[in-house]
Every structure is written in structure tokens, then in C-alpha cells.
Amino acid sequence: MISFRELHVPGTPLILGNAWDLGSARLLASLGYRAVATTSSGFAATLGRHDGQVSKDEALAHAGQLARGVRVPVSADLENGFADDPAGVAATVAEAAAVGLAGCSIEDYSAALGIYPTAAAVDRVAAAAEAARACGRDFVLTARAENLIRDNPDLADTIARLQAYQDAGADVLFAPGLRTLADVRVVVAAVDRPVNVLLVPGAPTVSELADAGVARVSVGGGFSKVGLAAVASAASELLEHGTADWQQLAERANPLIDTVFRG
């Protein structure tokens, strides 16, 4: 099996499906996704919580279950590493590798402290990278610059952060919130590591991102929200109209269920 690292090819982006439980991970793998990732918001929703309300132990147990349950590489969304200090982030990365993950992402944002000062953020990435190299297996560290989705649309600062995270040892760079092809091209040209782009409504298409040199495309909690929206629509139809047109969609899932979950 090709390694998670080798799947990151600028211009031929890895389409990374974000799964929220083992069933969705197996479904994505069965559809041809070559790697999957967890989604912090999607997993939190399965527990009846908001994003950011899951503990490190819960996140790692969940991610480990996915890693053991599918035959493709799994990367984990580990928020801010569940720690503010570099040593704590390094410990989280070591634990992530130990549960069988192929990689993880670490953010430079804390709900309590906001976006970390650049120097502190770089120290955190450096500690995470050192832990990844010391784990005894090939482990891909993604460093996230959260500016664009945390009310700081400063692209120059975002790029400077990504460049600093690259120098600190990050393997993949990610600035969620990039929405224009022009901005994507600027970011890709400014760094020497594979770039991940979050696919959102109105963003460039995968083919356009490929032309811009992007190496990975992810969807965050998007797939899990589609699932919740479909259930809400079906449940509302039944409750408000007493009809079951939604069963047509459910019946379309039967062949998938038989194929994916057989045995």
C-alpha cells in the first residue's frame, strides 16, 4: 500500500474524505478514497457536543478505532493538540502515532487563548515534528494556520506562519478558509511543502486546485453535516406530513450497506 506521505503529490491532490465514525470511514474507503481523516466537529456531533468539546482521550480512542478498522491511512484532526505548551503537543502526537494513525493536524488556535503568538506557535510545531520523527514510524504532521477562519483575514501573516511551520518541521501546510484561486496560488508558491485546501461552497473545484499545485483536498465536517441534514429532512417529513418519500433515499443505501458492512 502506498504510504500516506506518498499520496501527497502537488498537482494531483489526494482527496481526503473526513469520516465521523467507523461506518463512514469504511464507506469512504469502499468508494475509493485512498485515505481518510477524522473530523473534530463531526465526531463531536456523534456525542451530542459542539466542536472543541471532545477530550484528548476520546479523540485518540476514536481515531485509533478508525485506523484499525480500515485498510487505508487515517489522519486525525487533533485540534490544538489538546495542549498549549510544546511538551503537551508533543505528547499528543506521540500518542497519535501509538494508536496507529498515519498522521495528524495541529492548529495554532486555542478557544481559551485565541491564535497563539507566532513564536509560541512555531515552538509547538517544532515539538510536534520532533515527536513525529521519534515515533518509530512514518508519521505525517500537518500544521494549520487558523487566521482565515478566526476573524483574521491577513493572508500575509497566514503565509508567514505557514513558512515558519515549514521551517519548524511540518510535513503538510493547511490554512482553512482559502476561498479564491488567486489566494491558493499565492500560498502554494510561497511554501515548499504540500498544501491542503479545505473544500467549501464557492471555493475552487478540485481540478482548479490541482492546476494550482495543491497536494491535498479535505472536506472537514462537511460530509457529517450532509448526513445530519438528510436525517433532519426525513424526520421532519415524517413528523409534519406523515409521508415516507425519504425512504427512497434510504433504499438507495441498501446496496452500499450490503457491500461495505458484509461480514
The three-class DSSP label of residue 236 is helix
Q: Are residues 190 and 238 in the same domain?
A: no
Q: Are residues 263 and 193 in the same domain?
A: no
Average pLDDT over residues 113-118: 98
In which band, very low, low, confident or very high, does the pLDDT at 81 lie, cut at 50, 70 and 90?
A: very high
pLDDT, tens digit, for every residue of 7-37?
A: 999 999 999 999 999 999 999 999 999 999 9
In which band, very low, low, confident or very high, does the pLDDT at 82 lie, cut at 50, 70 and 90?
A: very high
Per-residue model confidence (pLDDT) at position 262: 78
What is the pTM (predicted TM-score) of this model? 0.96
Angle at the Cα of 206 (from 202 to 210), degrees rounded to 5? 125
Ranges 42-51, 151-160, 243-252: which has the least confidence: 243-252
Q: Are residues 204 and 235 in the same domain?
A: no
Asked if pLDDT for residue 1 goes beyond 80, the answer is no
Q: Are residues 179 and 245 in the same domain?
A: no
Q: Are residues 229 and 140 in the same domain?
A: no
Q: Are residues 142 and 32 in the same domain?
A: yes
Using CA atoms, how far apart are residues 180 and 203, in angstroms rounded to an integer?
6
Q: Are residues 83 and 158 in the same domain?
A: yes
Structurally, how many domains does the chain consist of? 2
| H helix intervals, 100-205 | 118-133, 155-167, 181-190
CATH assignment at residue 76: 3.20.20.60
DSSP 169: T
Q: Are residues 41 and 165 in the same domain?
A: yes
pLDDT, tens digit, for every residue of 178-187?
A: 999 999 999 9
Q: Are residues 216 and 247 in the same domain?
A: no
Per-residue model confidence (pLDDT) at position 163: 99
**What is the residue range of 83's domain?**
5-220
Which position has the higher pLDDT, 175 or 253?
175
Asked if pLDDT for residue 153 goes beyond 90, the answer is yes
Terminal Cα distance for the chain, rounded: 23
> What residues have CB less than 8 Å from 113, skipping those under 6 apart?
84
Asked if pLDDT for residue 260 goes beyond 70, the answer is yes
Mean pLDDT of the chain: 97
Q: Are residues 202 and 239 in the same domain?
A: no
In which band, very low, low, confident or very high, does the pLDDT at 263 lie, cut at 50, 70 and 90?
A: low
Q: Are residues 195 and 238 in the same domain?
A: no
Average pLDDT over residues 78-107: 98
Using CA atoms, how far apart are residues 51 and 30, in angstroms rounded to an integer?
27
- Rounded percentage of the chain residues whose pLDDT exceeds 90: 93
Per-residue model confidence (pLDDT) at position 257: 87
pLDDT, tens digit, for every residue of 34-75?
A: 999 999 999 999 999 999 999 999 999 999 999 999 999 999
CB contact at 8 A, 52 and 78: no
From the centroid of its chain, how far is CA 89?
17
Q: Are residues 246 and 143 in the same domain?
A: no
